[in-house]
Chains A and B, each alone.
Chain A
Amino acid sequence: MLEIKNLNVKLEEEDKQILKGVDLTVEAGKVHAIMGPNGSGKSTLSYVLSGRDGYEVTDGSALLDGDDLLEMEPEERAAAGLFLAFQYPIEIPGVGNMTFLRTAVNAQRKARGEEEMSSTEFLKLIREKAKELKIDTEMLKRPVNVGFSGGEKKRNEILQMAMLAPKMCILDETDSGLDVDAMKLVADGVNALRDAGRGFLVITHYQRLLDHIKPDVVHIMADGRIVKTGGPELALEVETQGYGDLAGEVA
């Protein structure tokens, strides 16, 4: 589903190489996790894939179902089925959550040549999904993420994911700033979306999220590369030994 080959990325503004040849393939139906120390390039990978400004791809490729992601605008990537759950969801005063989501759902449908979702259909669906994530419908009427707690913001990301039903979901440090209960709620939301046609890339610093979202494959990233790949046991290894040894093995 997601095929990343030899991805090299530097910052646009300064001559600093962040990703130094990332190779990664996520298959449909699988959950891959990327773990790594701070500054290893995990978040950069998520931003480059979703099309944020400020990065320059100097080499390599990233394909989603064979389509070149790097050639697309952010909204085209979204319509193609890519979704990034932000580490720090943005507050947008003045834009209602509901308006935002309905516009997003229908913009994607339109881009794919599908029929737009009616208001009734949309309302029914969002109420259902919000309930599963224990999101108060009052919260949906408020401006996007404004006045939301850390946990509410993350749940709102998962709600967006559920409504947009992407093929490929990237979760960037979704566990940061969450207590155990909130994390469990978010994980349940993610697990409910797991299915044979959908791939997940879960970026996290700590192993604890992976107790709730069980990965099929775990990658360790250090200094802009994937340095080790293994099964779920690799995450436990990080938990007990830290990143020092793992990163050192290759260096």
Chain B
Amino acid sequence: MALPKAKLDATEARLASMTRPEGGAWATAAREAALGRVRDMGLPARRDEYWKFTNPESLVQAEAPLAALFEADEAPIFDEIDRLRIVFVDGVFDADASDDLTGENLSIERLVDAAASDIHWAKDLYGVLETAGQTPVQRPLAALNTAYATDGLVIHATGPVSKPVSLIYQHRSESSDAILHHVVKVEAGASLTLLENGPAAARFNKVMEVDVADTGTFHHVRAQGRDHERRAATHIFARLGTESVFKSFTLTANGVMTRNECVIELTGDDAVAHVAGACLGDGDFHHDDTVFITHDAERCESRQVFKKVLRNGATGVFQGKILVKPGAQKTDGYQISQSLLLDDDSQFLAKPELEIYADDVACSHGSTSGAIDEEALFYLRSRGLPEGIATDLLTLAFLAEAVLEIEDEALQDAIVSRIEGWLARRRG
């Protein structure tokens, strides 16, 4: 089907401004195929159903809107954690600032190096999970990423990896427009924790494809940078084997525009997928969590837990779907999306969806929007807590269900202290 002219023009305008990176045969083929997908789908436009609540214009337009640099007044997150540090500055790997890319049961290469080789295991994943994730809903920004990503990592965990791999995304140029693509492969019996933090660029397009083999475990904790003017469109595509575990948590504090998509396919029996997010928005803030979890095996468990704290006209969006395919019996699916609106100006738009084709499943979903509980606030104040502190305590309590999805307590603490800092700065 031919694309509408406006969409075609917008797509070609963006493509004209970009250069596809060089690479070996497999990488070139994958990138060309991805470019073909972009041209077939066209880049997202405001009238697309999947972008009904989020205007994709600034994520699509040829030039990235400028984003002022932000001087954080707190120590970088995860500083206390013993981890393998890998630094990207405005989307470019910084070897000098990074640790050696080595570790027990671990191999890490830059995408540019993997792409230059004639034969590489990443060939079976790069753009492959993204392609699978284009059905039934199109995600053109992810295909654009596969075609044009200039940097990224291919990470291979062959056994238990003791230290978390920590990707640090620094933003140093007001006009940077970064496209990163990571591929992660967790082998049978292997386990890996991946941390991500930082704003990355003025505009950031990131795709991460994660393949967790049978009995593999993958934990992901992310804190998106506090820069107010940054923009991001991120995608996680995950494929889970039998008895594998995938858990991802994201904290988003500030950011004028964020769209985080997470597409998970449970392909092996007894697999577990948890995706959670806490976001804090004040003023010019638009945050969109779009999640699509497909159950295609028996006795799998999935959880989506998203909590948003919004004030001064901030907007939160949640589009979450659980698709249970025929035969995916004994599926246990749970989805909750909630917002705490701290004033009358903020808004939360939610579209929870269940689509179930198996008859022996337990799926539940809920979505709420509310203010601070006045009864609870009075109770706390009557015990001597000043209103601001009482409100913060109740806000933290509201976010707790999402934060508790992080298994590791040290990582949980790191996230909580970020949230506390954000709240304290606004207490006045």
Chain A interface residues toward B at CB < 8 A: 50-53, 73-75, 77-79, 83-84, 86, 89-90, 92-95, 99-101, 103-105, 107-108, 111, 143, 160, 164
Contacts and interface: CB of A to CB of B under 8 A. Distances in A.
Given A78-B384, A164-B383, 20 more contacts: A51-B381, A52-B378, A73-B381, A73-B386, A75-B386, A75-B390, A90-B375, A90-B376, A90-B378, A90-B379, A92-B379, A92-B397, A94-B400, A95-B380, A95-B396, A100-B380, A100-B383, A104-B384, A107-B384, A111-B386
B401 A94 contact: yes
B393 A100 contact: yes
Interface in B204-257: none
B381 A75 contact: yes
Contacts of A74: 378, 381-382
22 contacts: A51-B382, A74-B378, A74-B382, A75-B381, A78-B382, A78-B384, A84-B382, A86-B379, A86-B382, A90-B376, A90-B379, A92-B376, A92-B397, A93-B400, A94-B394, A94-B400, A94-B401, A100-B383, A101-B383, A104-B380, A111-B384, A164-B383
A99 B400 CA distance: 14
A101 B385 CA distance: 10
Interface in B340-399: 374-376, 378-387, 389-390, 393-394, 396-399
B396 A94 contact: yes
Nearest to A84: B382
A105 B383 CA distance: 8
Contacts of A107: 384-386, 389
Contacts of A104: 380, 383-385
A53 B385 contact: no
Contacts of B398: 94
Contacts of A51: 378, 381-382
Contacts of B389: 103, 107
Given A53-B374, A103-B389, A107-B389, A95 B382 contact: no
Kindly list the 6 A-B residue pairs having the minimum CB-CB distance in the complex, ordered from nearest: A94-B397, A78-B384, A108-B384, A74-B381, A94-B400, A90-B379
Contact of A160 (B375, B381, B383, B394): B383
Contacts of B396: 94-95
Contacts of B384: 75, 78-79, 104-105, 107-108, 111, 164
Nearest to A108: B384
Contacts of A73: 381, 386-387
A3 B270 CA distance: 67
Contacts of B401: 94
A73 B378 CA distance: 10
Contacts of A99: 393
Contacts of B390: 75
Contacts of A77: 382
A104 B384 CA distance: 5
A74 B378 CA distance: 8
A119 to B, nearest CB: 16
Contacts of B375: 90
Contacts of B393: 95, 99-100, 103
A90 B382 CA distance: 12
Contacts of A89: 379
A94 B383 CA distance: 17
A111 B396 CA distance: 23
Contacts of B381: 51, 73-75, 78
A47 to B, nearest CB: 9
Contacts of A53: 374, 378
Contacts of B400: 93-94
A157 to B, nearest CB: 10
A221 to B, nearest CB: 22
A108 B389 CA distance: 12
A94 B378 CA distance: 16
Nearest to B390: A75
Nearest to B379: A90
A100 B384 CA distance: 10
B382 A50 contact: yes
A107 B375 CA distance: 19
A53 B374 CA distance: 9
Contacts of A108: 384
A108 B384 CA distance: 5
A156 to B, nearest CB: 11
A160 B382 CA distance: 11
A108 B398 CA distance: 24
Nearest to B383: A104
Nearest to B374: A53
Interface string B103-122: 00000000000000000000
A51 B382 CA distance: 8
Contacts of A50: 382
Contacts of A90: 375-376, 378-379
A180 B379 CA distance: 27
A48 to B, nearest CB: 12
A11 B362 CA distance: 47
A105 B384 CA distance: 8
Contacts of B394: 92, 94-95
Nearest to B385: A107
A153 to B, nearest CB: 11
A77 B376 CA distance: 17
A93 B376 CA distance: 10
Contacts of B379: 86, 89-90, 92
B385 A95 contact: no
Contacts of B376: 90, 92
Nearest to A93: B397
Contacts of A94: 394, 396-401
